[in-house]
Structure 1
Amino acid sequence: MRLPARLFLALFLLAAAPWARAAGYPDHPVKLVVNFAAGGPLDLIARLIAEQAASRLKQPVIVENRAGAGGNIGAEYVARSPKDGYTALVSIDHLLTINPSVYKNMGLDPHRDLVPAGIFGTTSQVLVAHPKLGLKDFRDFLARARKEDLTYASAGLASPGHLTFELLKARTGIRGTHVPYKGNAPALSDVVAGHVPLAFVASTNTLPYVRSGALQALVTSAATRNPQLPQVPTAQEQGVPDFDVQFSQIVLFPAGTPAAVVKTWEGLLHDILESPEVRRQLDQMAVTPFWADSARTTAWLRDTRARWDALIRTLDIQ
């Protein structure tokens, strides 16, 4: 049976498009919930996604911050929202890879109550030291940390900085006493002031301090160097085995959201990341553009959770 010319053309254009909207979606504004405070790295990424998505969807995309409980409060709000595709969550992957192993009651089961549309980017951690430590480089740090019990700061128990440092301890046999803070800002502030000498901190937050000389960058946690800190080696380059720590930024919807809507955002995220301007902005934020569809995101979360769960059990963090 031959298709009418107009129908054939419509199907051809649909197949050729990098992404296609679900029928009739969206016909009113979409809300992106960020489960951390405004002004942080995740919030900046969410607002970039919102701006780009709004221009493509031809509807406003509004960012709303619902912080607290390590991201659980915002996640629970989204999980309980209508399953119509008009409320989504922008989160760091630790909501699904770390929190389930740490919190006795998260208020939700993120693997059951949320469905990922995809990964948008990844961020690494940078081990920074106050200059008063007088370290030459990362190898000098390892030598000192095997002899001395140095203290290090983090945003709190089971935060990315805490677990990254503990993983480094497990891989190298160094020592180190954890000093937890209530958030990245106060932790980094005390490292800059010299009250605590060390910390693993998200690359985005360290750039101005490293560039000004207020902090010394010793090593990055990812398998590849950070383009914004090209002079800083990776832990693997310095001989630390099986060390590739990155945290991803993920867009998720309430479980039960129509598959066509999730597919729309899956392709939309891919399309946004194809923009040179978006990549330039992410580079300035020390975020590595990285897209994964829903299925690959689910696999990423499963594998990453297994690694952190083993470490958390060893450390008995609750």
Structure 2
Amino acid sequence: MNRLAGALAMTAMATMAAAPAFAQQYPDRPIKVVVTTVPGPLDAFARAVVNQMSLKLKQPMVVENKPGAGGNLGTDVVAKAPADGYTVLFALDSTFTVNPSLYEKMPFDVSKDLAVIGVPVTYSQMLAVGPNVKANNLPEFMKLAKASKMSYASGGNGSPSHLTMAAFLGAAGLEMVHVPYKGTGASVVDVMSGQVDSVFAVTSGIWPQAKAGKVKPLAVSGTQRSPLAPDVPTVAELGLPQFNATFAYVMAVPANTPREIQQLLTRELAAAMKSPEVAEFNRINDYAVTDMGQEASANWLRDTRKRWNGVITSAKITN
């Protein structure tokens, strides 16, 4: 064996030996998990998942809530953190799919400054109307909206409830008055009381009110019916076959995080999703597990970003 061949062989052997050693070294200290909302649905999901991941990784995963600017504040912290695997992001997908079109200037580039670990779950919204609205199904609601001036509530400008209704109105060729609130909870209360006619809200949140007769459920926004409310059809079933307004949660790390760490986190995220504890959490909260890996998750975010850009542009939604 000549010197060059010998050197190449030694380099190859060193590389193969380094890979398992690298995996064994990470993590060797606690991992910070930045959640971009106040305690609520995303926070609860993140904690359920990282509790399972930390058991396998044998290191604590410590959640820090950094809300603000539609998720941009916390995401920016992660985008600018050391790319060593010790700072992880849990965000609403809207930070990646909506904010680039909604905000005139972003403090980071979602396609360059962050590496997506996964989009583990998706969820849809339920369209509901107040008990006094004279519509018991979606076709009746659409007919009523064409004939009279109706209103809809949302959790705020650019929120999932706002975007879903904007997409629906655009697809149906309807116009309604938008009444934004600071959070979906307050908006649902005013729909129940008759102050506002309708709302799109997270199914798991509004379904108990529907079962109690406080609102009337008309349709869900995703491509599949909700297991929580299997008798409520999708918008697509009721005359708008291409309609799909689905949202998700995203796990990500700084863009230059070593590939081995990204792959390890991806595997542990997938394993956590299969744990009985997280599976039950997802069932109760009406989250659909995607089983998407890194590449598929990144593609999903890219395609969804294009779709919401069209809705935001058409509806002239601004921050």
User: TM-score with structure 1 length normalisation?
Assistant: 0.90
CA distance in 1, matches of 2:22, 2:137: 51
- Equivalent residues, number: 301
Superposed, 1:2-41 pairs within 5 Å as: 22-38=23-39, 40-41=40-41
Counterpart check, 1:182 vs 2:182 = yes
Q: Which residue of structure 1 lines up, in the alignment, with residue 169 of structure 2?
A: 169
Report how far residue 158 of structure 1 moved. Answer: 1.7
Counterpart position of 1:116: 116
1:41 deviates by 1.2
Quick one: percent identity of the two aligned structures? Answer: 37
Do residues 70 (structure 1) and 80 (structure 2) align?
no
CA-to-partner distance for each residue in 1:84-140, whole Å, 9 max, x for gaps?
Answer: 111111111111111000101222222221110011101101111111213221221
Counterpart residue identity of residue 279, structure 1: A
**Which structure 2 residues correspond to residues 86-235 of structure 1 after superposition, within 5 A?**
86-235=86-235
Q: Which residue of 2 aligns with 1:270?
A: 270
The residue that corresponds to 1:256 in the other structure is 256
Question: SS of the counterpart of 2:218?
Answer: strand
Contact map agreement 1:204 1:287 (CA 8 A) in 2: no
SS of the counterpart of 2:25?
A: coil
Q: Counterpart of 1:86 in structure 2: which amino acid?
A: Y
* Structure 2 spans left out of the alignment, 5+ residues: 1-15
| Cα pair distance change 1:273/1:208, threshold 3 Å | same
Q: How has the CA–CA distance of structure 1 residues 285 and 21 changed in structure 2, closer, same or farther, with 3 Å as cutoff?
A: farther
- C-alpha deviation, 1:168, in angstroms: 1.0
Cα distance in 2, alignment partners of residues 89 and 315 from structure 1 = 30
CA displacement, residues 135-184 of structure 1 (integer Å, 9 cap, x when unaligned): 22122111111111211011222211111111111211222111112222
Can you list the C-alpha shifts for 1:64-101, whole angstroms capped at 9, x where unaligned?
11111111111111112121111111111111111000
Cα distance in 1 for partners of 2:57, 2:213 equals 43
* 1:36–1:65 CA contact under 8 A, matched in 2: yes
Q: Residues of 2 paired with 1:309 and 1:168: CA distance?
A: 15
Q: Distance in 2 between matches of 1:171 and 1:266?
A: 36
- 1:218-262 residue CA offsets vs partner (Å, 9 max, x unmatched): 100011100011111001111212111111111010111111111
For 2:66, give the aligned amino acid.
R
Point out the structure with max Rg over C-alpha.
2
SS in 2 for 1:207: helix
Identify the residue that residue 4 of structure 1 maps to in structure 2.
none
Superposition misfits of 4+ residues, deviation over 4 angstroms = none
Q: Secondary structure of the residue that 1:226 maps to in structure 2? A: coil
Query: 1:296 maps to what in 2?
Result: 296
TM-score (normalised: structure 2): 0.90
Check conservation: 2:154, 2:181, Cα contact below 8 A. yes
Q: CA deviation at 1:21?
A: 8.4
Distance in 2, matches of 1:248 and 1:144, equals 31
Greater shift in the superposed pair: 272-281 or 113-122: 272-281
**For 2:274 and 2:161, how far apart are their aligned partners in 1?**
30
Match of 2:85 in 1: 85
**Cα RMSD between the aligned structures?**
1.9
Q: What's the offset of the Cα at 1:309?
A: 0.7
What is the distance in 1 between the residues matched to 2:186 and 2:112? 34
